[in-house]
Amino acid sequence: MKPMDVETFKEVYKKRFEDVYAIQYHMGSTLEQFQVLGQVLRGYYTDYWIENNQEKIDNQDKQVYYFSMEFLPGRQLKTYLLNLDVYDTVKTGLTDLGLDFDKIVEAEVDPALGNGGLGRLASCFMDSMASTHVYGNGCGIRYQYGLFKQKFIDGYQIELPENWLRNPNPWEVRKESKSVIVRFGGNVWLEEQKDGKLKPKYEHTFDVLAVPYDTPQIGYRNGVVNNLRLFSAEIPYDEESKYITSEQRQEVNSITEVLYPDDSNYEGRLLRLKQEYFLSSAGIQTIVRYFKNLKLPWTRFPEKVAIHINDTHPTLCIPELMRILLDEEDLTWEQAWNISKKTFSYTNHTILQEAMERWPVYMIESLIPRIAQIIYEINARHIRNKTELYGSELAYKTAPIQDDQVLMANLAIISSHSVNGVAKLHTEILERYTLSDFKTIYPFRFNNKTNGVTHRRWVQLANEPLSQLLDKTIGEEWRFQPKEMRLLRSYIDDESVLDQLQQVKLTNKKRFAKFVSEQMNIEIDPHAMFDVQIKRLHAYKRQLLQVMHIIDRYLQLRDNPEAKLAKRVFVFGAKAAPSYYYAKQIIKLINALADLVNNDPRINDMIKIVFVENYSVSLAELIIPAADLSEQISLAGKEASGTSNMKLMANGALTIATLDGANVEISNLVGPDDIFLFGMKADEVQVLRDSHAYNARDIYERDPQIQRILNSLIDGTIPGIKSEGIDIFNSLVTDNDEYFLLKDYHSFYQAQMKVDINYANKKSWTQKSLINIAQSGKFSADYTILRYASDIWNVAPETEVLQQF
Ligand code: RUG
């Protein structure tokens, strides 16, 4: 890439500022300073972007299209600077100009176009595809409002709209000329053509324009620029007159207005289905247009295109491609099906039944009638073929249509050439239980791809002090090859490195403590253990188990302020889905407990609870480097993988965990002494559940420690909670504790006591932390992507690139 020197940067920046705002740069607001920096950078990278796009067409390289309803990119500025290798130049230049680099970075909006792990994984993958020379294109929705902004009012979660586009977004490029029409509703029937072929005819359809907005995805110091394409729904220009009523206009706009429409009512669910088809159709049409430009026969489509479905949400891509191949390109069913199957691959991210998407047939029929016909045909053919081979029971059990519903996972599995889980245990559970019938029919279709995270964002940028220490200690190769972090292991007895590692952690903890003091008015001691649980709020993730543990400690300290317990700051970050009432009750409980504990002089500041509002990628970047302990305490068998576990590990936090998701692999990598394991294993959970022998009330009645904790929910110990305490108590005792918190509690408590003892020995704690950092490189998303590339997409980069990894 062409070099950029500080002086030239300063000149270009000043000139651009004056051109845009007609004032001198130092008179501008931080937002203006950020906007101009965005424009300057854009001027710097667009050449590469254009070049890359041209090269892809000229070389006809195979393209990967990663469809996801969510992307959670976080702020982009620092990633661009790092990957373009101009981070220091720009930082120095701006500082020379008397501007505040950190403030400028913070002026960028953090787009919350995702909910949690799934969307963040998609964004890590975009970064890794570009960085490993995989030609990947993200396809998603440009929601006008991202995930709600969370506010706590009187401890309750309140959801406010998140208008992330309130300021111009310097990175995106509107590509109006590449828009396509997506057709909804109306009537469709098949009409015989002169040549005897049947072609669908449509009437009274509702047409929506899908306008792409492209954002560059820049590889790490390698000149690669990929594309993230987000579609926005607009009224077709030439159809303007058709949309006369404001209701119709609103109907179009609503399609890409919000991420996660309220699914507690029919309208909301219908809107979500519309979004899924909108993305699928717009994306597939774009891909088909690209392929047609290559002027190759259709049989070569899978050689040039791989389409990946991130969870079932974009599964309608499959019937949409079939529709185009059959109706517009005149292929036979067999030809279209063959092409389609070789092209699609699907990742499953959950085994929770309630998260497995099902759409009533009548909804699909009325919203996208032609797609419904194609799904019927896929269903009928599946049943016919598989009945012949495996008998009718298996054929019907794996069919995409059951009980008048379309089971999206079934549709995705039978129509793809690859199905993967996201951690070893998760894939095993899919194969052995959840999707075992499919495994019988398609024994070679399943594979595992354990998730990964990008160390560029989560270590290099989020944790500069650690990065510098790594450079100094083991050299800079880890920045390209995160596996090389393993070299740190040989410093396990190096007092100086251990001291410096402690200093790094302290610096990060002070930074977070300052934020907490300024933003939340809570004083926390950076020398206390920072115990962190950051993830969506869900019963299976068991934030409540940690709450029980905090109550337990609090009660012990109140009885005996001298109790031998470590001083801890419990950090939570979590949003609850707006209609998930129970999760919102837990939020209220945590906030009420925080009010009690943080203000009780009797416990001498031995416990502080910090529940950060509106948890986001940017907050994660602040919290993770400051964490001492990472809470990964879901009920075994429920968390598909987890990725905060990997980020926290990479930043030197020790993990307390059940053997769930990727925790199993973390545990294997670090060994039993450097992780705190507890609780039932997945198969034990299964046995207990199947036996129907679990009796939570019995545990409550016989176990004084648990009884005392649970009673505090209902006896007024925690002021401020009303019905929440009773409902949560009942969920555990009366409703038999679905996620086995009471069963796992003692084992959890003992593991927590072991944590306390270990934390008291600073040297050995830091040694464990060092091991965790050293082993974390294996969880780089770069390696995960290379595995997708070679095993699933068949696009492994050239050997010389591969050798770098
Ligand atoms: O809950 C899973 C996490 O375990 C996983 O790490 C992440 C990425 O694979 O995906 C999460 N997930 C699953 N988010 N949404 C779903 C269901 O749609």
Whether this prediction's pTM lies above 0.95 is answered by yes
CA distance 744 to 737: 11
Cα-to-centroid distance, 729 and ligand 1 (Å): 28
20 shares a domain with 155: no
Q: Confidence band (pLDDT; 50, 70, 90) for 244? A: low
Cα-to-centroid distance, 113 and ligand 1 (Å): 15
Ligand 1 pocket residue status of 641, Cβ below 6 Å: yes
359 shares a domain with 426: yes
CA distance 302 to 286: 15
User: What percent of the chain shows pLDDT beyond 70?
Assistant: 99
Per the residue annotation, which of 120, 149, 349, 456 is the catalytic one? Answer: 349
Q: Confidence band (pLDDT; 50, 70, 90) for 237? A: confident
274 shares a domain with 182: yes
Is the pLDDT reported for residue 4 higher than 80? yes
Is the pLDDT reported for residue 240 higher than 70? no
- Residue 732 CB partners (closer than 8 Å, separation 6+): 544, 696, 700, 710, 741, 742
How far from 466 is each of 96, 427, 524, 652, CA to CA, in Å?
Answer: 25, 33, 22, 9
3-state secondary structure 97-141: CCCCHHHHHHCCCCCCCCCCHHHHHHHHHHHHHHHCCCCEEEEEE
pLDDT, mean of residues 686-711: 98
User: What percent of the chain shows pLDDT beyond 90?
Assistant: 94
Cα 447 to chain centroid, rounded: 20
More confident call, 552 vs 802: 552
Q: What would the pLDDT profile of 713-745 be if each residue is shown by its tens digit?
A: 999 999 999 899 999 999 999 999 999 999 999
Cα 667 to chain centroid, rounded: 22
CA distance 641 to 660: 7
How far from 780 is each of 194, 455, 547, CA to CA, in Å?
Answer: 57, 6, 32
Q: Whose CA is nearest to atom 12 of ligand 1?
A: 118
The gap between the terminal CA atoms of the chain, to the nearest Å, is 21
Q: Specify the CATH number for the domain of residue 445.
A: 3.40.50.2000
pLDDT, mean of residues 110-128: 97
User: Is 20 inside a domain boundary?
Assistant: yes
**Greatest CA span in the chain, whole angstroms?**
91
User: Under DSSP, is residue 204 helix (H, G, I), strand (E, B) or coil?
Assistant: coil
User: Is 82 inside a domain boundary?
Assistant: no
Cα-to-centroid distance, 719 and ligand 1 (Å): 35
Q: Confidence band (pLDDT; 50, 70, 90) for 595? A: very high
User: Is 550 inside a domain boundary?
Assistant: yes
CA distance 298 to 320: 16
Ligand 1 pocket residue status of 121, Cβ below 6 Å: yes
The count of domains in the chain is 3
Q: Confidence band (pLDDT; 50, 70, 90) for 56? A: confident
User: Is 517 inside a domain boundary?
Assistant: yes
Q: What is the reported pLDDT for 797?
A: 79
Is the pLDDT reported for residue 364 higher than 80? yes
Cα-to-centroid distance, 588 and ligand 1 (Å): 24
Ligand 1 pocket residue status of 642, Cβ below 6 Å: yes
Is the pLDDT reported for residue 691 higher than 70? yes
Q: What would the pLDDT profile of 294-305 be if each residue is shown by its tens digit?
A: 999 999 999 999
Q: What ipTM, to 2 d.p.? A: 0.99
284 shares a domain with 143: yes
437 shares a domain with 506: no
Q: Confidence band (pLDDT; 50, 70, 90) for 263? A: confident
Q: What would the pLDDT profile of 201-222 be if each residue is shown by its tens digit?
A: 999 999 999 999 999 999 999 9
pLDDT, mean of residues 689-695: 98
Burial class, 265, CB count within 10 angstroms (exposed 0-12 / middle 13-18 / buried 19+): exposed
Ligand 1 pocket residue status of 699, Cβ below 6 Å: no
Q: Is position 535 annotated as part of the catalytic site?
A: yes
Probe target for ligand 1 pocket from 641, 663, 664, with the most ligand atoms within 8 Å of CB: 641
328 shares a domain with 290: yes
Q: Whose CA is nearest to atom 14 of ligand 1?
A: 118
459 shares a domain with 430: no
Q: Whose CA is nearest to atom 3 of ligand 1?
A: 642
101 shares a domain with 177: no
User: Is 80 inside a domain boundary?
Assistant: no
For 657, the token pair is 């965990």
Ligand 1 pocket residue status of 643, Cβ below 6 Å: yes
Q: Confidence band (pLDDT; 50, 70, 90) for 242? A: low
> Which 8-state DSSP code applies to residue 443?
T
Closest to 629 measured CA to CA, from 529, 742, 500, 508:
529
590 shares a domain with 573: yes
Q: What would the pLDDT profile of 744-785 be if each residue is shown by its tens digit?
A: 999 999 999 999 999 999 999 999 999 999 999 999 999 999
Is the pLDDT reported for residue 535 higher than 70? yes
More confident call, 131 vs 197: 131
Q: Is position 349 annotated as part of the catalytic site?
A: yes
Ligand 1 pocket residue status of 74, Cβ below 6 Å: no
CA distance 538 to 546: 13
Per the residue annotation, which of 75, 313, 426, 536 is the catalytic one? Answer: 536
Q: Is position 489 annotated as part of the catalytic site?
A: no
Q: What would the pLDDT profile of 478-527 be if each residue is shown by its tens digit?
A: 999 999 999 999 999 999 999 999 999 999 999 999 999 999 999 999 99
493 shares a domain with 412: no
Cα-to-centroid distance, 432 and ligand 1 (Å): 19
For residue 630, list its beta bridge partners.
532, 655
Range of the domain at 190: 60-75+110-451+787-804
123 shares a domain with 99: no
Cα-to-centroid distance, 640 and ligand 1 (Å): 6
Cα-to-centroid distance, 233 and ligand 1 (Å): 27
User: Is 81 inside a domain boundary?
Assistant: no
Per the residue annotation, which of 274, 308, 449, 647 is the catalytic one? Answer: 647
Q: What is the reported pLDDT for 248?
A: 87
Q: Is position 536 annotated as part of the catalytic site?
A: yes
Closest to 368 measured CA to CA, from 286, 288, 273, 287:
273
796 shares a domain with 758: no
